[in-house]
Structure 1
Amino acid sequence: MSFQAYLDNIQTKTGRTPADFRAMAQAKGFATADGIAPGIKATQITDWLKGEFDLGHGHAMAIFALLKGKTS
């Protein structure tokens, strides 16, 4: 599955766009405009995404990669 397919599936499941996830992660202090906030670990973000949005590990890691700056 391509990175874009992961993002598309996440949007279908949650109704949230990649930009929405960036904004929510910034509001929670997990990310900045430049990427992952200092000291934040992948597990903190994936636990949030799994708990709040019922995402699987692979989909949660796709959002983590998005927040780190991956674009394709």
Structure 2
Amino acid sequence: MKVIEKIKEEIKSIDSAVEMAGFLDGIRVSAALYCKKEYPDEVIIENGELKDISIYGMIRYIESDILDEF
């Protein structure tokens, strides 16, 4: 299963703006961790901290197969 398919399934059950905001933030964090490992050129790390992820990194994550650790 692809990450995009799982995201689409889970979004259907979201009932509030707070829940949606948390879900979207979680996707961003998961994508950043995924890219840090698989596509390090797609993340920005400053002083050892993960600061941001490129749009291409987000796309790579969303199109990827679901992994157990993410």
Superposed pair shares fold, TM > 0.5: no
Name the structure with the higher strand share. 2
TM-score, normalised via structure 2 length: 0.34
